[in-house]
Amino acid sequence: MEEAREIVVDTDALIEFLDRGNLEIAERLFFLGLDNLRISQVTASELLCGALDKAHRTRLLKFLARVRVVPISPNISQKHFELIEHYSLSHGLQVQDAIIAATALILEAPLYTLNKKDFRFISGLELV
């Protein structure tokens, strides 16, 4: 039997799932398998920064405790720098998106995002 594949999830998809109750996104994430989901540490930070109140923050922390949050390792940091060097001027790549993309590239995992335009130009990055 083939082993399940890791997938990095962008902040936008998680906001749709966690905060807006988007059923299409929920179905997609469950189809991909919650155990396979990987979240960049920067995504976890973005989610917490968007907390509206203590109850919302508590819900977010409970979710984050159930998924694997990938720390920003030296390899991810280096790949992030390379992405910024190559794409910030030409494509407007932002720091957070570069870290999320670098996480997917280092894990050799696809990136699930609703904003493909923010990432489609990155060589070697598989988008779903």
Write out the chain's pLDDT in tens, 128 residues: 345 689 999 999 999 999 999 999 999 999 988 899 999 999 999 999 999 999 999 999 999 999 999 999 999 999 999 999 999 999 999 999 999 999 999 999 999 999 999 999 999 999 99
> 127: left (phi > 0), else alpha (psi -120 to 50), else beta?
beta
CA distance 7 to 110: 5
Provide the whole-model pTM. 0.93
Single out the residue of 23, 40, 59, 21 nearest to residue 112, CA to CA. 40
Kindly report the CATH number that applies to the domain delimited by 7-117. 3.40.50.1010
**pLDDT score for 4:** 67
Instruction: Express each pLDDT in 84-95 by its tens digit.
Output: 999 999 999 999
